[in-house]
């Protein structure tokens, strides 16, 4: 993901995304954070530009970006607004990617062109009592003729209110445990679907997070993604992508915090010279840059191996763990370099510090990553 | 990209040698505080001591990436062997080849290529460590010759040396610009090697003082132009840092493997300690840090091989790898508990060995100076054009 490792098309896409973010996203990111909302006109504009159809095949109206091109675009948006970044990746990668990989031709025809045209999707996996232990989910889908009847509640659903449909993981056969989990696409306007109040969050505030509850929601069986009982496999198969996605998000936040800290340290004068000329500050900058370069190389490696079709479970977890811990550390140092100003909302580092925190939590906590990595080490 | 079959093929070849020959010698050499002549000869025969020597002089002319893998794999089982190879190549072969004129290269490099002659780099002095401008060794003009007087300390490989590069002040009072370097044979009258240093780690590696007592060298033995000595060794160290990073990486990897093996076999509270999260999480952190260090080391080598700037990246590679090397070897001892404190399990040796990587070829503090200077320079270059534009606009409207 260093410029010199990209091909011309990837470089061009990075430039275009950077340009768009500089003009339309970064200047507004603080206001969206405060409003806890991204305006519809931005979504409309971004949809027209293709930013909500990045991974979708061309035949369905998508941009069909390769894995690396997607990664660099994703980084640019997360550098500008991590809240917008997660809105995009839930739609493009988690939901769109699952339909692309597991949908039938008929389902792809039904859902993908609509998604490209701005019908946002959300991913409903977590429940009040099912977080890291995703296999313990309780939301039930009972078979009734050609339909399923859904009952239960999902938590921490990103895009819940922006979305027009949900990819819901439900238990069709509780006695089978994880093998009884099934993935079902549910339109938001079906009777019995209720979207909860917005969660008030520490960071990524312009992304919308809510509970979504389902009471006697009737969904045709033709909305089932994959086979009955294949849901957990679908969820797991999305994990490597999802983790690399969060690693890139963390990298973007870290880069943004570093940029601000470097700029500030060059301008801010104390004791008669710019503070970057004091070793106390210069050494912080050196460590920040070094860890971000290491993060970039780990992410790059995972992306390239995934693009080559290899299994990257360990690499994705390592990239995510390293990137998210680095982002938090870098953002903290960036606040420190800004001193009192860094604690104020006029300076973007305050937001980066809050945004970075989620990257150690979602798509598997840092603790879950360490479990994955140590298992791979001990199996080797 | 760095992961290619050729490099991995080379890795398995040198790993076989390292496990079979170097590992057992490493245990003995640390105990005896002496590098075994037989191992030195094998390193020469296999051309590991001359990896950077060009093919035209009979050397293997390895690329930087392959060379880094060699240092990593040797250090994985023995840090003393790693530093011996790293110093001979990065600090010996490299500067002669990069800064020597045609005659100097013809004089020295055929012996390096054919029989692994060792070149030694004499820079550090008692009063000149991080700040090399404190160099006290002098070279005074005497007709067409120079007379060198002074001494060097903490020099790697001097007892094996055939050739010596030494820095000396030729223009007193000019600071860094008054330093020049000379190339001389070990048999030059007045030159001698002092007694070996007694070290915390890398005890097998040869470290000693160099003494210059009216050593007469001809003007033809000056390496590069007069006054360029400082510039030369700054460049030499940029490359050398890749190999110190590789060395720290190998030491960390070796300790990590020992810790994993131990954790799987050691039973406490009725199950292998590898089944306790306290141990699993240590292993996960070590594995992740080592992988990050590997990327930084290989990336800097890759940039050097591409002919791109790599000084900032090699400083990062060395800094990061040596610091995680310290942490990983420390944690490896912790995983082994009392057995880790026992020399028989090697991890305590890796812990002692890797400390050098945070000091040699520029301390961690010097690396941070190097990196931050690069960062700030890049930043200024980035903003300067627009800064000039706004200045021009301001003066135009005034």
Q: What is the DSSP string of A234-303?
A: HHHHHHHHHHHHHHHHHHHHHHHHHHHHHHHHHH-EETTEEGGGSHHHHHHHHHHHHHHHHHHHHHHHHH
Q: Reply yes or no on whether the pLDDT at B384 is more than 70.
A: no
Structure tokens at B57: 């002089």
Q: How far apart are CA A249 and CA A270, in angstroms?
A: 33
Interchain proximity B284–A276, CB inside 8 Å:
no
Q: Give yes or no for a contact between B186 and B215, defined as CB atoms under 8 angstroms apart.
A: no
Judged by CB atoms closer than 8 Å, whether chains meet at B372 and A276 is answered as: yes
pLDDT in tens, A326-341: 999 999 999 999 999 9
Residue A7: the pLDDT is 96
Please say if the pLDDT value at position B397 is more than 70.
Answer: no
Helices (H), ranges, chain A: 8-20, 26-35, 40-49, 67-80, 82-89, 96-102, 105-116, 231-267, 279-307, 313-338, 348-358, 366-379
Percent of chain B with pLDDT over 90: 91
Pick the residue of B280, B288, B366 with the most A CBs within 10 A to test the interface with A by mutation. Answer: B288
- pLDDT digit string (tens) for B186-239? 999 999 999 899 999 999 999 999 999 999 999 999 999 999 999 999 999 999
DSSP B172: T
Dihedral in degrees, nearest 10, Cα atoms A235, A239, A245, A249: 100
Domain boundaries, chain A: 3-116, 121-229, 233-379
What is the C-alpha to C-alpha distance for residues B16 and B184, in angstroms, rounded to an integer? 36
How far, in Å, CA of A210 to CA of A193, rounded? 13
Inter-chain touch A283–B368, beta carbons under 8 Å: yes
Q: Give the list of residues 6+ apart from residue A366 with CB closer than 8 angstroms, or none.
A: A321, A324, A325, A360
DSSP assignments along B27-94, one per residue: HHHHHHTS--HHHHHHHHHTTSTTTTS-GGGT-----HHHHHHHHHHHHHH-HHHHHHHHIIIIIIIH
Closest by Cβ to B299, choosing from A285, A297, A376: A297
Q: Which CATH number fits domain A233-379: 3.10.20.590, 1.10.10.10, 3.40.50.10090, 1.20.140.10?
A: 1.20.140.10
How close B289 comes to chain A (CA, Å)? 8
Q: Is the model's pLDDT at B174 over the cut of 70?
A: yes
Partners of B316 on chain A (C-beta within 8 Å) are 289-290, 293-294
**Candidate CATH numbers 1.10.1740.10, 3.40.50.150, 3.40.50.720, 1.10.540.10; the one for domain A3-116:** 1.10.540.10
Is the pLDDT assigned to residue B392 strictly greater than 70? no
Chain segment B58-77, per-residue pLDDT in tens: 999 999 999 999 999 999 99
Nearest by CB: B371 against A262, A289, A298 = A289
b (16+ CB within 10 A) / e for B10-43: bbeebbebbeebbbebbbebbeebbbbeebbebb
**C-alpha–C-alpha distance, residues B31 and B19, integer Å:** 18
**Contact state of B319 with A290 under an 8 Å Cβ cutoff:** yes
Rounded to the nearest angstrom, the minimum Cα separation between B338 and chain A is: 22
What's the pLDDT tens digit per position in A263-319? 999 999 999 999 999 999 999 999 999 999 999 999 999 999 999 999 999 999 999
Q: How close, in Å, is residue B296 to chain A by CA atoms?
A: 6
Count CB pairs under 8 A between chains A and B: 104
Structural domains in chain B, sorted by start: 5-116 (1.10.540.10), 120-225 (2.40.110.10), 231-380 (1.20.140.10)
Q: Helix or strand or coil: residue A165?
A: strand
CA distance B387 to chain A (A): 13
Q: Which residue of B has its CA nearest to A285?
A: B372
pLDDT, tens digit, for every residue of B286-300?
A: 999 999 999 999 999
Of B388 and A21, more confident: A21
CB neighbourhood size of B363 (10 A): 15
For residue B154, the tally of other CB atoms under 10 A from its CB is 19
Q: Which CATH number fits domain A121-229: 3.40.50.720, 3.30.750.24, 3.40.50.11740, 2.40.110.10?
A: 2.40.110.10
Distance CA B35, CA B203 (A): 8
State residue B28's pLDDT score: 97
Give catalytic status of residue A127 as yes or no: no
The single residue listed with the structure tokens 């140092």 is: A333
**3-state secondary structure (DSSP) of residue A158:** strand
Residue B394 has a pLDDT of 52
pLDDT at residue A202, as a whole number: 96
pLDDT tens profile B7-23: 999 999 999 999 999 99
B390 pLDDT higher than 60: no
Measured over the CA atoms of residue B302, residue B308, residue B311 and residue B315, the dihedral's sign is: negative
8 Å CB contact between B324 and B290: yes
Decide if pLDDT at B398 tops 50: no
pLDDT digits (tens, 9 = 90+) for A147-160: 999 999 999 999 99
pLDDT at B163 over 80: yes
The answer to whether B244 touches B326, Cβ cutoff 8 Å, is no
Q: What tens digit of pLDDT does each residue of B94-112 get?
A: 999 999 999 999 999 999 9
User: How many CA atoms lie within 13 Å of B275's alpha carbon, on the beta-carbon side?
Assistant: 8
Tell me the CB-side half-sphere exposure of residue A345, using CA atoms within 13 A: 7
| Intervals of chain A under pLDDT 50 | none
Euclidean distance between CA atoms A99 and A93, whole angstroms: 10
Mean pLDDT of chain B: 94
Q: What is the pLDDT of residue B385?
A: 53
Output the pLDDT for position B389: 47
A-proximal residues of B, 263-282, CB under 8 Å = 263-264, 274, 277, 280-281
* H or E segment to which residue B267 belongs: strand B267-268
Q: What whole-number distance in Å separates Cα of residue B192 and Cα of residue B152?
A: 11
- Which position among B56, B125, B361, B384 bears the catalytic label? B361
- CA dist., res. A116 & res. A73, Å (int): 17
């Amino acid at each position: 993901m260093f410029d010199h490792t990209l091909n011309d098309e990837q470089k061009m896409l990075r430039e275009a995304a950077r340009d768009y973010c500089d003009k339309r996203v970064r200047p507004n990111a603080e206001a969206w954070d405060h409003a806890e909302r991204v305006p519809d006109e931005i979504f409309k504009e971004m949809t027209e530009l293709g930013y909500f159809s990045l991974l979708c095949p061309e035949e369905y109206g998508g941009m069909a970006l390769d894995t690396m091109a997607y990664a660099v675009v994703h980084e640019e948006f997360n550098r500008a607004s991590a809240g917008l970044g997660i809105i995009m990746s839930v739609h493009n990668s988690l939901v769109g990617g699952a339909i692309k990989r597991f949908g039938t031709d008929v389902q792809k025809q039904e859902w993908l062109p609509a998604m490209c045209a701005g019908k946002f999707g959300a991913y409903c996996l977590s429940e009040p009592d099912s977080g890291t232990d995703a296999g313990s989910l309780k939301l039930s889908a009972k078979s009734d003729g050609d339909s399923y009847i859904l009952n239960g509640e999902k938590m921490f659903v990103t895009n819940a209110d922006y979305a027009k449909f949900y990819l819901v993981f439900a238990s069709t056969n509780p006695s089978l445990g994880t093998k009884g989990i099934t993935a079902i696409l549910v339109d938001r306007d079906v009777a019995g679907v209720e979207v909860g109040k917005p969660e008030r969050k520490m960071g990524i505030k312009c992304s919308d997070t809510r509970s979504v509850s389902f009471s006697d929601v009737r969904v045709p069986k033709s909305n089932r993604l994959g086979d009955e009982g294949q849901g957990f496999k679908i969820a797991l198969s999305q994990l490597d992508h999802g983790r690399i996605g969060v690693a890139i998000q963390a990298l973007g936040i870290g880069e943004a915090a570093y940029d601000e800290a470097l700029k500030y340290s060059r301008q801010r004068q104390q004791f008669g010279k710019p503070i970057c000329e004091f070793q106390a500050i210069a050494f912080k900058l050196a460590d920040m840059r070094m860890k971000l370069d290491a993060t970039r190389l780990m992410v790059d490696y995972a992306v390239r191996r995934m693009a080559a079709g290899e299994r990257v479970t360990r690499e994705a977890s390592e990239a995510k763990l390293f990137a998210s811990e680095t982002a938090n550390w870098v953002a903290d140092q960036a606040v420190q370099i800004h001193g009192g100003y860094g604690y104020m909302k006029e300076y973007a580092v305050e937001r980066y510090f809050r945004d970075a925190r989620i990257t150690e939590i979602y798509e598997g906590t840092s603790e879950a990553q360490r479990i994955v990595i140590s298992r791979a080490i001990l199996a080797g | 990209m760095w992961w290619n079959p050729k490099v991995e093929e080379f890795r398995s070849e040198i790993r076989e040698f390292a496990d079979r020959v170097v590992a057992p010698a490493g245990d003995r050499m640390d105990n005896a505080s002496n590098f075994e002549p037989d191992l030195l000869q094998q390193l020469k025969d296999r051309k590991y001591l001359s990896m950077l020597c060009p093919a035209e002089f009979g050397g293997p002319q390895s690329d930087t990436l392959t060379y880094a893998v060699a240092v990593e794999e040797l250090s994985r089982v023995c840090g003393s062997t790693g530093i011996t190879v790293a110093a001979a190549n990065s600090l010996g072969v490299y500067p002669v080849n990069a800064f020597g004129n045609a005659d100097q290269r013809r004089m020295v490099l055929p012996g390096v290529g054919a029989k692994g002659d060792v070149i030694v780099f004499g820079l550090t002095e008692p009063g000149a460590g991080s700040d090399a401008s404190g160099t006290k060794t002098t070279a005074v003009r005497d007709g067409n010759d120079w007379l060198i007087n002074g001494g060097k300390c903490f020099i790697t490989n001097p007892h094996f040396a055939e050739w010596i590069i030494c820095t000396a002040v030729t223009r007193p009072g000019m600071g860094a610009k008054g330093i020049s370097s000379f190339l001389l044979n070990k048999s030059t009258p007045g030159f001698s090697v002092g007694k070996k240093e007694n070290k915390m780690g890398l005890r097998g590696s040869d470290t000693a003082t160099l003494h210059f007592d009216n050593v007469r060298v001809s003007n033809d033995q000056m390496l590069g132009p007069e006054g360029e000595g400082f510039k030369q060794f700054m460049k030499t160290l940029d490359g050398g840092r890749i190999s110190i990073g590789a060395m720290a990486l190998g030491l960390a990897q070796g300790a990590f493997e020992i810790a994993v093996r131990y954790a799987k076999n050691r039973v406490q509270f009725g199950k292998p300690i590898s089944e306790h999260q306290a141990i699993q999480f240590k292993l996960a952190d070590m594995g992740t840090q080592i992988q990050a260090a590997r990327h930084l080391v290989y990336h800097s080598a890759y940039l050097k091989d591409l002919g791109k700037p790599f000084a900032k990246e090699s400083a990062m590679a060395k800094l990061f790898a040596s610091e995680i090397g310290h942490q990983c070897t420390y944690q490896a001892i912790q995983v082994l508990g009392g057995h880790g404190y026992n020399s028989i399990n090697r991890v305590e040796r890796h812990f002692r060995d890797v400390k050098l990587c945070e000091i040699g070829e520029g301390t961690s503090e010097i690396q941070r100076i190097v990196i931050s200077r690069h960062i700030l320079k890049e930043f200024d270059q980035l903003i300067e054009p627009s800064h000039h534009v706004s200045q021009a606009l301001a003066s135009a409207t005034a």
